Amino acid sequence: MNDPSKTSANKMAGSDHDLAKPLSPTTGLRQSLSSYGDTHFSLFLRKAFIKALGYSEDALSRPIVGIVNTSSGLNPCHANGPQLLEAAKRGVHLAGGLAVDFPTISLHESFAAPTSMFLRNLMSMDTEEMIRAQPVDSVVLIGGCDKTTPAQLMGAISANKPAIHLVTGPMMPGSHNGVRIGACTDCRNNWAKYRAGAIDIEEIAELNDELAPTAGTCGVMGTASTMACLLVALGMMPLKGATPAAVSSARLRVAEDAGTRAVFLTQNPHLTPQGILSRESFVNAITVLQAIGGSTNAVVHLLAIANRHPAVAGQINLNTIDEVGRRTPLLVDLKPSGDNYMTDFHAAGGMPALLHQLRPLLHLDALTVTGHTLGQELYLAGPVRPLAPNSPVNCIRPFDSPLYPQSSLVVLRGNLAPRGAVIKASASKDRRLLSHSGPAVVFRGTADLAQRIDSPDLTATADSVLVLQGIGPIGNPGMPEAGMVPIPRKLAVEQGVGDMLRISDGRMSGTAGGTIVLHIAPESVDPSSVLGVVEDGDMITCDVESRSLRVELTDEEIQSRILRRSQTAATAAEDTSLGGAGGSTSHWVERENMRGYRGLYMRSVNQADEGADFDFLTAAGPAGRN
């Protein structure tokens, strides 16, 4: 029998492939081998196939950097993906690595039904498994649109290979009648004006042309921009990575730099996501979240991300969000909490300038993807150059002169939300509503809402509390951004009402504003939910100062309603006639028999206070199931 170590085929395979040697399975092409029951043959076959792509032995001996490509013809937020990919590859090759790109799922907010959030966990699974399965020594994660960066970080933490984020960057603002506009705060403001009859069909069509004038993510402090800033604060992206515009040359330099740093990561394998991230990194991220008046969606994402990390899971929860908020001022004057756009934030110094202001609150010893601590990175970034006194881009307030003194994002609890709820107090348009009692006007799902909200017969006043049930993670899969319930037309048009207290178990867009309580847990379709038994006319009290959200009912009355509801829960037809899409507890019962990804989602998704992740993907695994 031939000794394979002495064959010419063995010589041809090169030193990495000396078939007489035991394989070191940890780096380069030798890792993550396909299983044929013969590891040497697996490597031999892999080399044969990769040579079909034209690589030389020299190229294949380099550290391999995978670049996760999320370009898609249905994702305009990632439309600059090809240019970023090319620049990141340049950075890898300049640093002596071999760049290979591979695709994963891409999600855009407007092109994913029922919601992109329904697919976030699928994208995280895709990301995790492709990083784990393929022979890459580190990865550059190109993402941007709202759910993509959280999905990528969740997956990267679980895969735990060295990874660096590269976001696509914000779009430029557009212009209408000489006024700057941008997705998506101005989409919502102008749509509300159109609904109220303040602008006509021609004008809303003109606005439509200018709201998203370039490639890139929404140009305000929505979820995408928030997550970009948080990636910096977490230490998973360099300081200058968050804010350059998608269409700028600076963005391409950021991409090249990400490629170079990804090669550095291959030589520092301890800098994995689990090695970098700590409780302190998450506290830094929450500090930034509060200081930028960031998206409420980021709360859900941060909880999901933290719960992927074995050493952080359980240490970051809704209480942490509120505690950090109480000591953190709102410093960044961007829509929807303020007036400006991401391009202004970038011109004002971006994340380095903000982090300098926040120094007293930050854990400066937290590690980052560069191998330096956050404090070292700030030192290396140098002092922030002061802006001219009346600079129009001056949207970062000094620490002692904030836009809002503290707690832009607040966690509420009470009998309506025993496991918590979130409100972006800084985005309230009528601050009197932050302490308010009023009678409930209840909608049992989005179909019921669409049918009745503009009815002249709707019994609602400006003091009413609009309650939307059935839009939680299970009640309306994906927990849609329907929490910004529109002001009933008759109140908006006839009385000029611009804000009302609205509560739900759903989410709202990070670009939206108003006095809106979200993410109520447990959600209304949970058989134990109090939100699920609220009825028209019940008095609801929300008090941000005392962090309280209550329905003014006795415990006996609540328990009696919950019992009554559970006795009728099996009557799905009755529920459907009452609630339409999402309002029915029948979802809770029927999920056991659902097929495919939807069935997996419905059986496995946890509640908003845990991140709406799949229980089997968390660090605790399904054993952590409630």
- Residue 300's nearest CA partner among 530, 610, 615 is 610
Nearer to ligand FES, 217 or 370 (CB): 217
- Least Å distance between CB 255 and ligand FES? 18
Structure tokens at 117: 């959030």
Structure tokens at 581: 């899409």
Query: Do 288 and 331 meet the contact criterion of CB atoms below 8 Å apart?
Result: no
Q: Which of residues 543-582 bind ligand FES (CB under 6 A)?
A: none
Q: Which of 19, 92, 106, 109 binds ligand FES (CB under 6 A)?
A: 109
- Least Å distance between CB 74 and ligand FES? 11
Nearer to ligand FES, 77 or 139 (CB): 77
Nearer to ligand FES, 27 or 110 (CB): 110
User: Residue 456, Cβ neighbours under 10 Å: how many?
Assistant: 8
Structure tokens at 573: 């037809």
Cis peptide before 76 (omega within 30 of 0): no
Structure tokens at 361: 């609150």
Q: What angle do CA 97, 100, 101 make, to 5 degrees?
A: 140
Q: Which of 17, 89, 108, 308 binds ligand FES (CB under 6 A)?
A: 108
- The span from the CA of 292 to the CA of 324, in Å, is 13
Nearer to ligand FES, 171 or 497 (CB): 171
- Least Å distance between CB 428 and ligand FES? 22
Q: Which amino acid is at 27?
A: T
Nearer to ligand FES, 162 or 222 (CB): 222
Pairing state between β 409-414 and 417-424: antiparallel
How many residues sit in the footprint of ligand FES (CB under 6 A)? Answer: 11
- The span from the CA of 374 to the CA of 378, in Å, is 6
- Least Å distance between CB 345 and ligand FES? 15
Q: Is position 145 an interface residue for ligand FES (rule: CB under 6 A)?
A: yes
- Residue 292's nearest CA partner among 170, 165, 381 is 170
Nearer to ligand FES, 110 or 267 (CB): 110
Nearer to ligand FES, 107 or 277 (CB): 107
- Least Å distance between CB 217 and ligand FES? 4
Q: Which of residues 212-231 bind ligand FES (CB under 6 A)?
A: 217-218, 222, 224
Q: Is position 137 an interface residue for ligand FES (rule: CB under 6 A)?
A: no
- Least Å distance between CB 113 and ligand FES? 14
Nearer to ligand FES, 482 or 553 (CB): 482
Q: Is position 166 an interface residue for ligand FES (rule: CB under 6 A)?
A: no
x/- letters, 64..83, toward ligand FES (CB under 6 A)? -------------x------
Nearer to ligand FES, 77 or 285 (CB): 77
Find tokens 């309280």 and name the residue: 548
Q: Which of 146, 322, 481, 505 binds ligand FES (CB under 6 A)?
A: 146
Nearer to ligand FES, 224 or 378 (CB): 224
Query: Do 114 and 476 meet the contact criterion of CB atoms below 8 Å apart?
Result: yes
- Residue 156's nearest CA partner among 53, 54, 66, 78 is 66
Instruction: List, as one string, the DSSP characters of 238-267.
Output: -GGGSSS-TTSHHHHHHHHHHHHHHHHHHT
- Least Å distance between CB 489 and ligand FES? 26
* Residue 349, CA distances (Å) to 15, 321, 346, 535 in order: 49, 26, 5, 49
Residues 6+ apart with CB under 8 A from 126: 104, 105, 155
Quickly list H helices, 400-516. Answer: 446-452, 489-495
Query: Do 335 and 185 meet the contact criterion of CB atoms below 8 Å apart?
Result: yes
- Least Å distance between CB 145 and ligand FES? 3
Please report, as ranges, the residues that interact with ligand FES according to CB under 6 A. Answer: 77, 108-109, 145-146, 183-184, 217-218, 222, 224
